[in-house]
Amino acid sequence: MTDEQEKSDNPVVSGLVALLAVSLAVGLVLGGVALVGTRMLGLGDDSSSSAGATGKESAIIPRPSKTAGNGPQVTLETEEAQETETDAGDPEPSETKTTKAEKSITLQAGQTAVGNFERIDLTGIYPGGEGAILQVQRLEGGQWADFDATIPVSGEQFNTYVQSALTGVNKFRVIDNATGEASNPVTVTVG
């Protein structure tokens, strides 16, 4: 026998080659079935992942325009900004009011009346207060007293809950002890 006859007659090598060929054929068939199935079901379709956008849509970017005052030197002009400028007349007072309103802590209570020791949800917004720790306070005898709760500010927002056994009208607020900035008070009736 020659070497070539021995190589072709080896059943183990022939079996491995046949197994590899069958695996490749089955893999190709299953891959084709999976591809056709996903196309029929609409999975992985690029048009559905673009939130309904068509090929003809495009972004409209307004032209930059110079601004007056201490703010940014260039802003994007929008229809809303144009309406505000024409309606406002004198932009100076509105800028001052907006600046104060943007920096104040806004507090809201989730409930207006609860029973003793029931949950009172407190949520709010603290623009520019990222990372601050706010102290919850309750009005007691005409003085704001620290309540046993602190709230971290994350994403310029905060939320917590408190429970009170003091029946009657309870007024709560939050204060940033680092800056002295306090929120508006909220009123909750307990009992």
Q: Which of 124, 137, 120 is nearest to 190 (CA)?
A: 120
CATH 2.60.40.10 residue spans of the chain = 105-190
Assigned architecture for domain 105-190:
Sandwich (2.60)
pLDDT at position 115, please? 92
Query: How many residues are there in the chain?
Result: 191
Low-confidence ranges of the chain (pLDDT < 50): 48-50, 81-82, 84-91, 93-99
pLDDT at position 14, please? 86
Half-sphere exposure (Cβ direction) of 6: Cα atoms closer than 13 Å: 3
Q: Calculate the alpha carbon distances from 148 to 76, 112, 134, 172 in Å.
A: 46, 20, 11, 12
pLDDT at position 49, please? 45
- Tell me the C-alpha distance between 29 and 34, whole Å: 9
The whole-model pTM stands at 0.48
